[in-house]
Amino acid sequence: MTQTEVVLEEKVNLFQQVQRQIDQAASIMQLEPGIHSILREPMREIRVSLPLKTDDGRLRLFEGFRVQYNDARGPTKGGIRFHPDETIDTVRALAAWMTWKCAIMDLPYGGAKGGIICNPKEMSSRELEALSRTYIDKIYDFLGPEKDIPAPDVYTTPQIMAWMMDEYSKLRGCYCPGVITGKPISLGGSLGRDDATARGGVYVVREAARWLKMELSGARVAVQGYGNAGSFAAVLLGKELGAKIVAVSDSRGGIYNPQGLDPTAVLQYKKKTGSVVDFGGAEFVSNKEILELDVDILIPAALEDQITGENADRIKARVVAELANGPTTPEADKLLHEKGVFVIPDFLCNAGGVTVSYFEWVQNISGYSWPGETVKQRLDARMTTAFEQVLSLFKEYEVDLRMAAYILAIKRVSEVMQLRGWI
């Protein structure tokens, strides 16, 4: 890669990356130009101003978004993020990925995403509740179990979902749990939602290993990001598939022990000290180094843009399982594919979360809750089927797995747009 290409790559924002991926899939599929132009833009964007009386008596104004990307397959679905660095482009990109994710999982949903630019770590519980309720007041007309169904995402919690559900129910004059997922269990949440993203990822890693004829027992795994998705994945990969977790990291850095770490003990240590760093018997590795370790499976589970044109050449893993959204840039994708690294793309690998959110919505609207074991079995069946369907296009088109997943998603979304007479 030349210097100019590296510089160009840095300038592309997350939504432009998504549009480049759509363009690439459209060209491979020879997609009709009109359909292509519809699919590369969001259907609806809502921007709201959110005034908040802070605890010290000031009046502050926050900015919030909701992007509904495409609702051809059903009501839109997607999380709400509270983050100081949130941008409309990130929300657009994530809303697009939700559209493709729901399509490849064959869920009866379109895709959406929401966000508020704020720093929840610096806000009191009262302030968070007030901001969450104001956000719903401003957008509730566009939400509903048959319109758009939010969920938790970065820095939003089951408690925040409970406040939002309550606000929506008050405004509508009804009890309406089906408007939002990721709620506390006692308020209509589903069993199995807490580890669903990781569990879904573990099921597709199992299927990928079966296809690659790769032994999982003792396979060496590195996990970047030891939060909800990454820590559950490490525990489950060890417990259910016999893999050896050799390195994990969080925002303060990482730890590495080639003999293997005990993921549950590391999790307890992180809960006590706030970080995995300094866990006994392991050496320090940086968040850059953890990506380049000599492992069999690499799991980026933190942030976007981690594997780039700059470091893709040094990735040694045979399988990259993207639990994070957007961890690999298009340039890196190309290099990894050429090197023969099997990348399980984010919107397949981390689709377990939205799948169990779908199960929660089904339980809410039917008024009947399922045992945890049923949730796990149905999640396994859906993840396995989606993997097989993407793999079949991977073989047919001779592309990488991400392009195969795009082709499947675009086929499904365009087919229903045609059937509904939109195009």
What residues line the site for ligand NAD (CB under 6 A)? 154, 197, 224-230, 249-251, 287, 301-303, 323-325, 350, 353
10 Å CB burial of residue 212 (0-12, 13-18, 19+) is exposed
Nearer to ligand NAD, 350 or 389 (CB): 350
Query: Closest separation between CB of residue 352 and ligand NAD, Å?
Result: 8
The reply to whether 113 belongs to the active site is yes
CB 229 within 8 Å of CB 201: yes
For 266-286, give one letter per residue: b (16+ CB within 10 A) or e.
bbebbeeeebbbebeebeebe
How far is it, in rounded angstroms, from Cα 267 to Cα 227?
Answer: 9
Nearer to ligand NAD, 24 or 287 (CB): 287
Query: Closest separation between CB of residue 307 and ligand NAD, Å?
Result: 12
- CA 129 to chain CA mean position, Å: 24
CB 29 within 8 Å of CB 407: yes
Nearer to ligand NAD, 69 or 133 (CB): 69
CB-closest chain residue to ligand NAD: 227
Amino acid letter, 190 = S
For residue 221, the cross-strand partners are 245, 297
Query: Closest separation between CB of residue 251 and ligand NAD, Å?
Result: 4
Determine which one of 77, 101, 113, 270 is catalytic.
Answer: 113
* H helices, E strands: number in the chain: 14, 12
Nearer to ligand NAD, 35 or 223 (CB): 223
Query: Closest separation between CB of residue 128 and ligand NAD, Å?
Result: 16
Amino acid letter, 223 = V
How far is it, in rounded angstroms, from Cα 129 to Cα 126?
Answer: 5
Query: Closest separation between CB of residue 376 and ligand NAD, Å?
Result: 16
For 45-67, give one letter per residue: b (16+ CB within 10 A) or e.
ebebebebeeeeeeeeebebbbb
Nearer to ligand NAD, 325 or 364 (CB): 325
Catalytic residues: 113
